[in-house]
Amino acid sequence: MPGLADAAVLLQTFPVIPGIRYATSGDLQIAYQVVGDGPVDVVFAFDWAGNIELMWENPQTERFLRRFASYGRLIFFDMRGVEIEAIRATWGTTDPLHLRVLAPDLSGDEFARAWWARVERAAGSPRRAVRKQQLAFQLDVRDVLEAIAVPTLVVQSAGNRFVISAQGRYLAEHIPRAQYLELASGGHWPWAAPDADRFLDKLEEFLTGAPQVPSRDRVLATVAFTDIVDSTALAASMGDRRWRELLEVHDSVARREVEAARGRTVKSTGDGLLATFDGPARAIRCTSGQASTPARSSCSATTSAASPSPLPLA
């Protein structure tokens, strides 16, 4: 019977990862991706620790990136490497220390911790991480703020312990005509915050010059429901810990399949998922993808796609 390891390997194959290209910068080659074909070019670089390929494996980060591509052309690139000399003890491990600062709401999620540990290891060694963090803290751009002549939106999380609110407000006050948006989040990543939609909506309005057009209250939708077959017996045979781990893998795969099919997750049912789609073909493709995973004998899915029916959706 395939176990959690098979399902974990599966996660690496499910995201639809854009092709990677390379640009030359001195003696280095910088990896980058181009997604979308909208009229606005959005150039995005992740934090000093990141990997453009692994960023797509986390559903929240993937949703954030694809939002850019929905109205523009996203150009996403890796940061240049820097040599280092010190060692960070928890770098590349599943210790939740880093996520408690970057995304507190994800720090208790085992899949999120394992994913971020892989990102850190792919980004570089512990010594490289320490050196890059030291450089980030030493960087002082105050003298050039008044010379910035392009429209600027400063986004700050109120509870950010990495970059405090006073620093964000200082930037907005000293960059000519800058706009300032403060979120209620306690972390460093605004797209992983409880009010992430407010951030994404404001960012789209800032980049495009127009707010997102709200969807109508009633739409024609196809409803899809998945359920793990014999979940009670399976949970008893696996034990609580392995069952919870398998559910986390199942939920992550299911969410990614829904997003890939342009669906909307309504809710998790504990051992299944309820989602809506704009047509039966997308719903069938989504549920078939979940049912055909390598872990299906231990996590089989019973799926049903209802006929399109008008539903009140927010």
Token readout for 293 is 């995973």
Q: Is the pLDDT of residue 212 over 80?
A: no
Q: Where are the alpha helices (DSSP H) in 184-305?
A: 196-208, 231-238, 240-260, 280-291
Report the range of poorest mean pLDDT among 4-13, 42-51, 144-153, 271-280: 4-13
Q: What is the Cα–Cα distance from 278 to 96, expressed in whole angstroms? A: 38
pLDDT score for 151: 93
pLDDT at residue number 174: 95
Torsion of CA 262, 267, 270, 272, to 10 degrees: -40
pLDDT of residue 128: 74
Mean pLDDT in residue range 196-219: 79
User: Percentage of residues in the chain with pLDDT exceeding 70?
Assistant: 78
Domains of the chain: 12-80 (no CATH), 82-139 (no CATH), 147-208 (no CATH), 218-312 (3.30.70.1230)
Indicate the pTM of the whole model.
Answer: 0.51
Q: Which residues contact 6 (CB under 8 A, 6 or more apart)?
A: 294, 295
**pLDDT given at position 147:** 95
Beta-carbon contacts of 149 under 8 Å, excluding residues fewer than 6 positions away, are: 176
Sequence-distant (6+) residues with CB within 8 A of 87 are 126, 127, 130
Q: What is the C-alpha separation between 227 and 299, in angstroms, rounded?
A: 9
Tens-place pLDDT, residues 244-258 = 777 777 777 777 778
What are the counts of helices (DSSP H) followed by strands (DSSP E) for the chain?
Answer: 10, 11
Where is mean pLDDT largest: 30-39, 149-158, 246-255? 149-158
Q: Find, among 66, 59, 78, the residue nearest to 42 by Cα.
A: 66
Q: How far apart are CA 288 and CA 226, in angstroms?
A: 10
32, pLDDT greater than 80:
yes
Q: What angle do CA 111, 114, 116 make, to 5 degrees?
A: 105
Q: How far apart are CA 16 and CA 54, in angstroms?
A: 11
Are 152 and 179 in contact by the 8 Å Cβ rule? The answer is yes
DSSP conformation class of 145: G
- C-alpha separations of 210 from 38, 70, 99, 201 in Å: 14, 14, 33, 10
Selection from 8-12, 286-290, 294-298 with the highest mean pLDDT:
286-290
Confidence at residue 254, expressed as pLDDT on a 0 to 100 scale = 79
In angstroms, the CA 143 to CA 44 distance is 24
How far apart CA 289 and CA 307 sit, in angstroms, is: 19
